[in-house]
Structure 1
Amino acid sequence: MKLVVVSAGLSVPSSTRLLADRLTTAVQGRTPVDVEVIELRELAVEIAQNLTNGFPGRRLAAALEAVTEADGLIAVTPVFSASYSGLFKSFFDVLDRDALAGKPVLIAATGGTARHSLVLDHALRPLFSYLKAVVVPTGVYAASEDWGAEGLPERIERAAGELAALMRGLSGTTRPAKADDEVKVVPFAEQLAALRPTA
């Protein structure tokens, strides 16, 4: 299976990339995946050109293809003005509108203060719902004070487990059905409930 990680961090080193790496490692600990990381800051010029002329450059075209072909996606952005960054949004603006349909996506964000944590539910989740992605229940927000504190590692592990389970469930690795096979339909709400940790 292929996991693509989109990081919109602008600095080097970047807390956004650090969070993306930790989420990736947690997913790899649960299911075997081939990982491709896309650093949007390296594609900023090509993204801007694509917005103005309608044609992706070579590196941007490869990134868009990787996202389209992925079995799962981790999308991480820094928070600017209480929302995702313009670079992050511009990348998904140039992506084909059906590229994420049915694709499992883990959303995450970083910011200087915990007051921006609602960006996950008020900006990122609606964006990916509009793109018809299957967004895992647990989003991960990391404020500056969260690094090294209690809570963040647990959220990372929970979100990674949800993404890994969805990727395994949606992968086409099962054998073809036979005529005498019993077909069992499990409602999506029950599938999500099975992913939640039990007390």
Structure 2
Amino acid sequence: MRLVVVSAGLSVPSSTRLLGDRLAAAVGRATPGETDVEVEVVELRDLAVEIAHNFTNGFAGKALSAAQEAVTAADGLIVVTPVFSASYSGLFKSFFDVLDKDALAGKPVLIAATGGTARHSLVLEHALRPLFAYLRAVVVPTGVYAASEDWGAEGLDGRIERAAGELAALMRGLSATKRQVRDEFEVVPFAQQLAALSPAERAGV
């Protein structure tokens, strides 16, 4: 299963990236012995210039195009933004503005955010959840907000594990459905079908 973490953190190191990494690791723990989870991280701060150019000229640069393809092909997403002015950051929103409108349709998404105070925790419900509902993603019930005082405190680990378990369950279901559809509708090339026939059967083809 392919899991993509979209991080809008700006600093290095970044608490936003740290939260994304911890969530991704928890998703891996939620699928033990079942399937491998391939994790790719998209750092939006590295794409800021290409995102701006995409708005002005309508073309995605090489790095931005690769990030868009990774997000579109993912079996699940973890999206994490710092809180700016009581909402998601402009960079975070801009990335999803230049993504194809159908890229997230039906895709499992775990929403998360970081901020300096717990007063901004409702950003998950009044900003992020409506955004991804509009994009027709399947947003897991548990969002994760981490204020400065949450790091190392009780409660954050439990929220991370619960949200990651919900995302892993949705990803497993989606992956199983894809395999079933692929198996049922797999097209066998004519040359391969012909090679499987006996000489007498081939003569009559």
**Counterpart position of 1:89:** 93
Please state if 1:127 is matched with 2:134.
Answer: no
Map of 1:3 onto structure 2: 3
What is the aligned partner in structure 2 of residue 36 from structure 1? 40
Task: Give the distance between the partners of 1:117 and 1:53, measured in 2 at CA.
Answer: 36
Displacement of 1:145 after TM fit?
0.2
Shift of 1:111: 0.1
Distance in 2, matches of 1:34 and 1:173, equals 17
Task: Number of aligned residue pairs: give it.
Answer: 178
Q: Match for 1:4: what amino acid?
A: V
- TM-score when normalising by structure 1: 0.87
Q: 1:169-191 deviations in whole A, cap 9, x for unaligned?
A: 1112347798xxxxxxxxxxxxx
In structure 2, relative to structure 1, the CA distance for the partners of 1:154 and 1:53 (3 Å cut) is: same
The runs of 5 or more residues in structure 2 that have no matched partner are 185-205
1:140 is matched with which residue?
144
SS in 1 for 2:165: helix
The CA distance in 1 between the partners of 2:106 and 2:181, in whole Å, is: 21
Where 1:173 maps in the other structure, the secondary structure is helix
Show the 5 A alignment for 1:96-135: 96-135=100-139
After superposition, the C-alpha distances for 1:43-77 in whole angstroms (9 at most, x for unaligned) are 00000000111100000000000000100000000
Matched residue SS, 2:153? coil
Q: So what's the TM-score if we normalise by structure 2?
A: 0.85
How far apart are the structure 2 equivalents of 1:177 and 1:111? 45
Larger radius of gyration: 2
